[in-house]
Structure 1
Amino acid sequence: MSTDSSRPNVVLILADNLGWGELGCYGGGSLRGATTPRIDKLATEGLLLHNFNVESDCVPTRSALMSGRHPIRTGCRQSVPAGFPQGLTEWERTLAECLKTNEYATAHHGKWHLGDIPGRYPSDRGFDEWFGIPRTTDETQFTSALGYTPEVAELPYVMKGKAGDASENMCVYDLETRRLIDEMLVDRSKEWLTRKVEEKKPFFLYHPLVHLHFPTLPHNKFKGTTGQGDFADSMAEMDYRVGQIIDHIDDLGIRENTVFIFASDNGPEFREPYRGTAGPWSGTYHTAMEGSLRVPFIIRWPGQVPEGKTSNEIVHVTDIFTTILSITGTDLPSDRPIDGLDQTAFFKDSTNTKSPRTGFPFYIKDELRAIKWKDWKLHFVWEPKVNQSTGRLESPYLFNTVRDPKEESDILAFNTWVLQPMMKLKSEFDRSLKYDPAPPDPLKEV
């Protein structure tokens, strides 16, 4: 562990498809069928963001988090099936690889989704060890699906690996294991944290949960506990699992010098019966609506981040890469464009300091769908619900997200001045892409 305040420990928990409106501290909780007392308490111990933004899909968000770069730069534009090129190329520098240069211990316990072949597993990309799933959770349905055989589609496995060694399969990732996986992940993280404290070395623990990704199935100990079905039961379990890690950090005596971040990778699930909610925002992941962009984010850093604060300042997932490196005194890669901005000063004084970020472009795959700037959102393609696109708009739609959170009233005709700063943001990003060209879409190359 680290007791040096300039080299704090970092624990990053990432929920899977947790919508903005699910947790109690975001207006959900009991209204969604399950209270979330542990995460709600965490929110009172640090800073809660109302305007933390991610990408449209699991792979793009995780690549942005690990590289500090928009997916249009890295080629990690979408989730793809096993056996197809996917994940971060060897040229990209991951958060874990950067921290290793600063002598941090690193571990990944959870869902990776950034490469499923030798050379691209977490233990090949800067993590000392890993345990979890290389891809995604809908694969747990394979073995019980009509017509499935391993000869036509790869069996999904829970895997583990250590740096310098080959990663190996542990067990088939089926529906039964789906119910057990988050318990397994927490047990691994607790054991690893205990070891790192004994070694007295600063560490980075990346713990991407599996909940609430569909099929959203709770552990048997939580099944039926809320009376509101599997989704609510899974929320209750997710809250409990986060609490287990919080308690273990406290028991180890490392709370004071540990940066603890809880966030989500995407907006809510939209498939019945596992439908989530984005609260006041419209849309789900796989769209450019605010319900896709905005997700929960809480940071606790005792003595550094004031308690009980909330903010509607814009923060983007790429900023987490840059900010963690800044907090730990680790050098940023200097040989490539980094899109993430350092939010350290803002996190430490959100009352008197503004986020350095005013906006960002939002792509789905290789298409610019929207630009977000301050309280404004400009859509170039209108797709309020998944697979319900009306195509590229002749005249873009403009919304003010404070006055019109559900993006219902296009007001571009009355606010064309907003096009100037937004188009400036676009042209600056386009210019940077010219000198850092995007890789080809891997699915188009197969």
Structure 2
Amino acid sequence: MSFALALLAAVGGGPSLDVSPERRPTNVVLIMADDLGAEWLSCYNPAAPPTPHLDALAAGGTRFTRCFSQPLCTPSRVVLMTGKYNYRNYVEFGFLPPEERTIGDVFREAGFRTGVFGKWQLSGDGPDRPDAIDPADWGFDEHLLWQLSRRPGHGDKGPRYWNPKLETGGAIRRSARDEYGPDLFGDALLEFAARDDDRPFLAYYPMVLTHDPFLQTPETGPPTGKAQADPKHFPEMVRYTDRLVGRIVAGLEAAGLRENTAILFCGDNGTHPSVVCPTPHGPYRGGKGLLNDRGTWVPLIVSLPSRVPAGATADRPVDFSDLLPTVCTLAGVPVPPSSGENGGDGASPFAADGSPVKPPRTAAFVWYDPRHNARINQQAGAFARDGRYRLYADGRFFDAGDPLDPAEEELTEPLTDEQRRVRQSLAAELARHAQQGGGLPRASASGP
């Protein structure tokens, strides 16, 4: 079914909910793009190709200019799903320990319908993990996923874009050659959201876009003949990502759900290093896998009409541990405690009424030990980052300045009084995590 037909079907079967805002729980749509740094959104970078739908989402909500992810996909997904820094529960690449309590668990326990649509990459790589292959084990009632598992009889993960190999309810969902995975996920999300059900919902959409292979999108049609993956297709893939977000917003509006649905959009790590984006400072090469801004600076847009301030820009630092408490706070779901076996590490930048929390968080924190391959593992380390400065766990101190400017200046003595004060504050943040069990990875903290 085409996206348009699916949208019409979803709208036709839309829920009959009480329209009075004070009596309606808040829904959540959490969208995370794959390998998309903030430099590719025109609301962050005036020299980037236009992303009008994401710009409109930002204009109707709050845009965070200092959001920092893990430098690689699975580490970011583990933090988002659990609200915990990697030193507390990251075991290996592509795996989430089955005993972890996730965002799906938290929302399902609060009475929400829960669904996940897109890229999973959390159930391990083989049949030796039979207890960790079903999203229902982590609180999701429904799913349509790529890279869910490699269980017996299911073969390899297959393609994510054209003619994708997807799984739902323990079975393979067969697709046609001209079907495009991102469209299928968008269909499933809107059908789920608009279903006739009195319960509120959490829809988590970890997109497969804009990860390589870099292929043309339905904007230009399925690849034919000798068409090859090429970074030249990346701007088109960003445009399609933007278009999908616009379709989701329009679908929620058509179903009468938009006013009472919080939409969050972020990226899981920096852009692939084969991709270069123009900026007012010059070319900006993606830094996926690196601990500097090129690898960790990602977009974060939060929109909830009538509650989250519209057209606002927030320069306060945030990191991925803040995402779970943010959606809980906006949805009216109890935030997991900040300590204990099931506790998280982050804090929402919003109060329940959508107003900014004061005082703001003073530093984002990233602990990174990917345990994936030798090349990527060379970038293991940790840092604390405020609005301007970054201190690595190995003691190197940088003036990171504007994240849109890839140049970073390493600072050594003599420092100004302000720089010395900031370094001391960031060192205290690193020490706090070290005391809580965040022993530092042995490899170097930063890459080029």
State whether TM-score is above 0.5.
yes
Cα gap change, 1:250 to 1:259, in 2 (>3 Å): same
**What residue number does 1:168 align with?**
171
Instruction: Determine if contact 1:283/1:289 at 8 Å carries over to the other structure.
Output: no
Distance in 2 separating the partners of 1:404 and 1:204: 32
**What residue number does 1:356 align with?**
361
Distance in 1 separating the partners of 2:326 and 2:157: 37
> Which aligned pairs between 1:4-83 and structure 2 lie closer than 5 A?
5=22, 7-28=25-46, 31-32=47-48, 34-76=49-91, 79=93
- What SS does the aligned partner of 1:365 have? coil
After superposing on structure 2, the runs of 4+ consecutive aligned residues of structure 1 that deviate more than 4 Å are 1-6, 274-283, 402-405
Instruction: Determine if contact 2:328/2:334 at 8 Å carries over to the other structure.
Output: yes
Q: Deviations over 1:32-83 (max 9, x none)?
A: 4x43211111111111111111101100111110100011211255x4xxxx
Cα gap change, 1:15 to 1:409, in 2 (>3 Å): same
**What residue number does 2:345 align with?**
339
Cα gap change, 1:374 to 1:231, in 2 (>3 Å): closer
Distance in 2 separating the partners of 1:279 and 1:63: 34
In the TM superposition, residue 290 of structure 1 has moved relative to its aligned partner by 1.0
**Residue type of the alignment partner of 2:28:** V
Q: Deviations over 1:198-256 (max 9, x none)?
A: 112100001111111001223234359xxx94212212211111111110100011111
**What residue number does 1:123 align with?**
136
Q: Does 1:308 align with 2:308?
A: no
Q: Deviations over 1:334-378 (max 9, x none)?
A: 43342111222399334x945334332432437434222342102
- What SS does the aligned partner of 2:210 have? coil
Distance in 2 separating the partners of 1:359 and 1:40: 24
**What residue number does 1:424 align with?**
428
**What residue number does 2:247 align with?**
244
In the TM superposition, residue 17 of structure 1 has moved relative to its aligned partner by 0.9
Instruction: Determine if contact 1:47/1:305 at 8 Å carries over to the other structure.
Output: yes
Instruction: Determine if contact 1:345/1:353 at 8 Å carries over to the other structure.
Output: no
> Which aligned pairs between 1:288-437 and structure 2 lie closer than 5 A?
288-334=291-337, 335-336=340-341, 337-345=343-351, 348-350=354-356, 353-365=358-370, 367-380=380-393, 396-402=396-402, 405-413=405-413, 414=415, 415-433=419-437
Q: Deviations over 1:362-407 (max 9, x none)?
A: 3243743422234210235xxxxxxxxxxxx6x6243252599534
Q: Deviations over 1:130-185 (max 9, x none)?
A: 0021269xx9xxxxxxxxxx99x8353733334xxxx2222489xx67x7110111
> Which aligned pairs between 1:254-269 and structure 2 lie closer than 5 A?
254-269=257-272
Distance in 1 separating the partners of 2:95 and 2:145: 16
Instruction: Determine if contact 1:55/1:266 at 8 Å carries over to the other structure.
Output: yes
**What residue number does 2:376 align with?**
none
Distance in 2 separating the partners of 1:23 and 1:374: 20
Distance in 1 separating the partners of 2:54 and 2:303: 11
**Residue type of the alignment partner of 1:38:** H
Distance in 1 separating the partners of 2:405 and 2:42: 20
Cα gap change, 1:326 to 1:132, in 2 (>3 Å): same
- What SS does the aligned partner of 1:93 have? coil
Instruction: Determine if contact 1:370/1:377 at 8 Å carries over to the other structure.
Output: yes
Cα gap change, 1:309 to 1:333, in 2 (>3 Å): closer
TM-score normalised by length of structure 1: 0.77
Gaps of 5+ in 2: 1-14, 160-164, 223-230, 372-379, 442-448
Q: Could you say what the CA RMSD is over the residues aligned between the two structures, in angstroms?
A: 3.3
Identity level (%): 24
Instruction: Determine if contact 2:166/2:174 at 8 Å carries over to the other structure.
Output: yes
**What residue number does 1:186 align with?**
186
Instruction: Determine if contact 2:325/2:336 at 8 Å carries over to the other structure.
Output: no
**Residue type of the alignment partner of 1:209:** M
Distance in 1 separating the partners of 2:218 and 2:360: 42
In the TM superposition, residue 416 of structure 1 has moved relative to its aligned partner by 4.1
Instruction: Determine if contact 1:21/1:279 at 8 Å carries over to the other structure.
Output: no
Cα gap change, 1:201 to 1:348, in 2 (>3 Å): same
Cα gap change, 1:354 to 1:115, in 2 (>3 Å): same
- What SS does the aligned partner of 1:21 have? helix
In the TM superposition, residue 269 of structure 1 has moved relative to its aligned partner by 1.3
TM-score normalised by length of structure 2: 0.77
**Residue type of the alignment partner of 2:349:** Q
Gaps of 5+ in 1: 80-85, 140-149, 381-392, 440-446
In the TM superposition, residue 418 of structure 1 has moved relative to its aligned partner by 3.6
Cα gap change, 1:223 to 1:313, in 2 (>3 Å): farther
Range 115-124 or range 315-324, more displaced: 115-124
> Which aligned pairs between 1:155-234 and structure 2 lie closer than 5 A?
155-156=157-158, 158-162=165-169, 167-171=170-174, 180-195=180-195, 198-223=196-221, 229-234=232-237
Cα gap change, 1:306 to 1:417, in 2 (>3 Å): closer
- What SS does the aligned partner of 2:39 have? coil
Distance in 2 separating the partners of 1:97 and 1:160: 20
Distance in 2 separating the partners of 1:7 and 1:431: 39
**What residue number does 2:100 align with?**
92
Instruction: Determine if contact 2:317/2:362 at 8 Å carries over to the other structure.
Output: yes
